Amino acid sequence: MSEPARDHAGGCACGAVRYRASGDLRPVVACHCSQCRKAFTNYGAFTAVARGGLAIDNEAEVTWHESSPGVRRGFCRRCGSALFWDNSAAAQVSIAAGTLDQPSGLTQVRHIYVADKADFYELGDGLEQLSQGQSGNPWPGSARGGGGA
């Protein structure tokens, strides 16, 4: 007996970009790397879905920025909401968890790139903290070459 995979939907702040994520979503990882610090005003909370499970309804509204070689970040060209983190070498695409429609049903499990976090806040939630990325994690999401979720 298994639960059917739940479909999720989400979008940017202005509504120009909507997407659907089909299949199991990875637990949320909070990335405190310098790229996320700037893009998200502190850190990026990311889930991830199998590459074929992400359907962007109106991708023409998404601007892709190559943040490091082979890695691109997608944001709404109208309102600037950061939405996607896509490492072309990974089997999953990361989704900014805060853009999911609520309730997401997800749980945050760890912090990564804690060594790069801003100095004006502390982490006190007791979750695992990695100073760098999470290579070797069964749900790869971090990339060599800086940043990642």
| Residues found near Zn ion in the complex (CB under 5 A) | 12, 14, 16, 31, 33, 36, 76, 78-79, 147
Nearer to Zn ion, 36 or 95 (CB): 36
The SS3 of residue 29 is: strand
Nearest to 39 by CA among 94, 90, 80, 86: 80
Q: How far is the CB of 89 from Zn ion (least distance, A)?
A: 16
Residue 16 tokens, joined:
């120009």
Query: In whole angstroms, what is the distance from residue 12 CA to residue 79 CA?
Result: 8
Q: How far is the CB of 2 from Zn ion (least distance, A)?
A: 32
Residue 23 tokens, joined:
């299949």
Q: How far is the CB of 111 from Zn ion (least distance, A)?
A: 10
Nearer to Zn ion, 19 or 21 (CB): 19
Query: In whole angstroms, what is the distance from residue 83 CA to residue 131 CA?
Result: 24
Nearer to Zn ion, 6 or 135 (CB): 135
